[in-house]
Amino acid sequence: MKKYDYVIVGGGLFGGVMAFHAVKQGKSCLVVERRPHLGGNLYCEDVDGIPVHRYGAHIFHTSDREVWQFVNGLVEFNRYTNCPVANYRGEMYNMPFNMNTFSRLWGVTTPKEAMEKIEAQRSGVTGTPANLEEQAISLVGTDIYEKLIKGYTEKQWGRDCKELPSFIIRRLPVRYTYDNNYFNDPYQGIPIGGYNGLTEKLFAGCDVLLKTDYLADQERFDAMGERVIYTGALDAYFGCCFGRLEYRSLRFEDDVYDTDNHQGVAVVNHTAREVPYTRTIEHKHFDCTRDYREIPRTVVTREYPAAWEEGMEPYYPVNDEKNQALYKRYEELAEREEKVIFGGRLAEYRYYDMDKVIRSALEAAKREFGVQAGL
């Protein structure tokens, strides 16, 4: 049996960046991935020439120039800028919350008028917001909270907004300008043709075992590597000995339409509580370097939030106090595992975007290989 320098558990972004640097240092790597493909949640499936984001919309955005240079050194990005639209009972509002939203909602035309509206509606919240509801109302007032936040958030997280941490809503910009860009970061785009090209570059030179669960045969895999890079769920690594960490999961359902343009935008958020899905994604609009009319069909994916159960994909960590405290206990155990590097969204139990995962992996690579981050 071949002995590898590294056994990498998980073929996602964290594993990929570590693999890239390991191979660059002349190290041998075996990647063990449970799914039938590499790429983790970035994986794209080709449907009629449309790169379908199989695990939900993935838009790369960052303020980290080194990370941006790193990915652009590997693949070419398009100029996609995310400008989703929220559908609330047939009323369409621009997201994130900006002058277009305020104008549509209240008929206001100036930032001053919008601020006055919001000021009047947030007077009920005083002091530091204690939960997501208070945070949302203090940022944008009660009208927007009721139409664009409450229903979406409670579907997404399966719990009341009063029981959710406020940081979740602070992910979204609030702007008193007519600017529909969902992100504030200076760098944004999507790899031309989808993310699989990036994945191929990251894992080039590695041996790969797909459809293989590392934990089902851990001893054998541990014996195959000098070191292990583990990017799966941390509680599962330790046999859930302190109890389970909570996650949120998702279910995706596709529709293929015989039209070249179904919803006119890549992302529509469905914010009413009674609509069971949170987003519809029309994938061809991510590929903005290409004229959408070239392909006479289109793929639209509905995204349904779901409670996580054994056997489902754990997409989102639930970073409330209870779960954070439990995670800390697992983290203490992880620190004692000298042969193993833990990293990524699941092993670090953090609501990481792609750029943050890459940054985390570049730092881990520096510690492990003593090299500078970047190419």
Closest alpha carbon to 83 in 276, 285, 242: 285
The interface mask with ligand UDP, positions 258-287, x = CB under 6 A, is -----------x-x----------------
Residue 354 interacts with, from ligand FAD, ligand UDP, none (CB under 5-8 Å by kind): ligand FAD
Sheet containing 29-32, strands listed edge to edge, beginning at the edge strand earlier in sequence: 207-209, 29-32, 4-9, 225-230, 340-342
- Asked if 255 contacts 263 with a C-beta cutoff of 8 angstroms, the reply is no
Query: Is beta strand 247-257 parallel, antiparallel or unpaired with respect to 316-317?
Result: antiparallel
Our finding on whether 153 is near ligand UDP (CB under 6 A) is: yes
Between 42 and 140, name the residue whose CB sits nearer to ligand FAD.
42
Active site residues: 171, 175, 248, 279, 303, 351, 353
Looking only at residues 67 through 96 of this chain, which bind ligand UDP when binding is defined by CB under 6 A? 86, 95
Residue 149 interacts with, from ligand FAD, ligand UDP, none (CB under 5-8 Å by kind): ligand UDP
DSSP conformational letter for 143: H
CA distance 87 to 89: 6
Output the CA angle 11-17-19, nearest 5 degrees: 70
- Asked if 31 contacts 19 with a C-beta cutoff of 8 angstroms, the reply is yes
Q: Classify residue 49 as left (phi > 0), alpha (psi -120 to 50) or beta.
A: left
Our finding on whether 171 is near ligand UDP (CB under 6 A) is: yes
Of 20-28, 47-55, 149-157, 231-239: span binding ligand UDP (CB under 6 A): 149-157
Looking only at residues 301 through 360 of this chain, which bind ligand FAD when binding is defined by CB under 6 A? 315, 344-346, 352-355, 357
The interface mask with ligand FAD, positions 40-59, x = CB under 6 A, is xxx------------xxxxx
Write the DSSP string, 264-304: SSSEEEE--TTSS-SEEEEGGGG-TTS-GGGSS-EEEEEEE
What does residue 336 show for φ and ψ, rounded to 5 degrees? -85, -10
- The distance of closest approach from Cβ of residue 322 to ligand UDP in the complex, given in angstroms and rounded to an integer, is 18
Residue 59 interacts with, from ligand UDP, ligand FAD, none (CB under 5-8 Å by kind): ligand FAD
Interface ranges with ligand FAD (CB under 6 A): 9-15, 32-35, 40-42, 55-60, 213-215, 231-232, 250, 315, 344-346, 352-355, 357
Interface ranges with ligand UDP (CB under 6 A): 86, 95, 148-149, 152-153, 156, 168-169, 171-172, 269, 271
